[in-house]
Amino acid sequence: MAGGGSAIRGSRVGAGPMGEAERGDTAPRQRIVFFCANGHETATVFAVEAAIPEAWDCPRCGLPTSTDVNNPPPPPKIEPYKTHLAYVKERRSEQEAAEILDEALQKLRDRRARGEIIF
C-alpha cells in the first residue's frame, strides 16, 4: 500500500533551518538544582537575570523542593476531610446550636398550628 501526499513530511510551508542569526541571541542562562524530601533532584534552567524561586514542585512526586540539598522542605501536612457538620461546629458552640435548633423547631410548630402545608 503506497502512501500519497507530500514527499517532505513533518514540515510546513516556509519552514527552514532556524539558526541564531534568524532568531537572535539567547539570554544567558543558569542551571539551578532543587531537592525534595524524597531525595529527587530537579534541574531547571533560568535566565541569569530572573529571580530564582525559593520553592519548586518536584515533577516525580509533587512534593515541594528547595535548593538546599541538606535541608529540603518537609512534606505538607494533609488535613483529613471535614464534613459539613465539622465546619458548622467550628463556627458555633453547642449552646448556640441548641438555640438555633429550638428557634427553627418553634417556627415549624407555629406553621403547623396555623395549618400550613409543610414539605
Q: Would you list which residues are annotated within the binding site for Zn(2+)?
A: 36, 40, 58, 61
* Residue 99 phi, psi (nearest 5): -65, -45
Kindly state the helix (H) or strand (E) to which residue 116 belongs, with its residue range: none
Q: Tell me the binding residues.
A: 36, 40, 58, 61
**What CA–CA distance (Å, rounded) separates 53 from 66?**
9
Burial per residue of 43-73, b for 16 or more beta-carbon CB atoms within 10 angstroms, e otherwise: eeeeeeeeeeeeebebeeeebbbbeeeeebb
Is residue 55 within 8 Å of 73, Cβ to Cβ? yes
